[in-house]
Every structure is written in structure tokens, then in C-alpha cells.
Amino acid sequence: MAKGKQFEIVNGKAVGRLTFGIPVPGGPALDFVLREYTVADLIDAEQEASAMTPIGFNAQLLCLQLERAGEFAGPFTINMIRGLKAADWQVLRGAQQALEAVGEAEPPSAGQS
């Protein structure tokens, strides 16, 4: 990862490091892996937090997108996301948005329309 950069996109996943960490069992985890969201993730996040409340919706979506924080592999809860410091929330939101942009830039596979 480039100096000063808090995450990078590797094989369709955001891999990075937080300043304060995600509160998980065993203590705050600094390293994270975030995957692209699926339509199922969007539906599930919307059911948990109204899409009319963007912060709550994005927090629920992060719970679903997080694959790993340190050695912790989930499940991630909304209370873990609530425990983030603002600087780490911004890093995770940036990673979430970067993954969305990557997904939008990918052309459909051959045979799909």
C-alpha cells in the first residue's frame, strides 16, 4: 500500500488499515478487508435501516461487506460500526465508495446483457 494511503483495491476487495480500529472481540482490529456489495446486501441493509437514513443504511451495508477485521471474520454488528472513531468511519466509507466505482466501471461478462 502506498505511503499515506489507508486502503487499496486488490482483486475486487478493499484492503486497508485503520487508525483506531474496529471494536471486535479481543480488542480493536486495525487491518480490514471489505468486499463489493451484492444486490442481496442492499436488500438486507435496507431492511435493517431505512434507505432514507443514509448513515444507518451505509453502516448496515458495511456490516455485510466486511470480510475481516484483524483476525475477526464476523459476523459484524451495527454496534461494532457504532464504536468506530470518525476517522475510521471515513476510511471505511471511502473504501465502500471506491468498490462501488470499480463495480460500475466493470463491463458485463461475455454472454450477459
Of 4 and 69, the structure prediction assigns the larger pLDDT to 69
Is pLDDT at 51 greater than 70 in this prediction? no
Of 1 and 21, the structure prediction assigns the larger pLDDT to 21
Is pLDDT at 9 greater than 50 in this prediction? yes
Dihedral sign for Cα atoms in the order 104, 105, 109, 111: positive
| Cell numbers standing for residue 102 | 470499480
Element (H or E) spanning 87, and its range? helix 86-105
Whole-number percent of the chain with pLDDT over 90: 77
Domain boundaries, the chain: 11-96
Mean of the per-residue pLDDT values of the chain: 89
CA distance 59 to 79: 10
pTM score, whole prediction: 0.84
pLDDT of residue 102: 81
Please, what is the Cα angle at 54 between 108 and 10, to 5 degrees?
A: 40
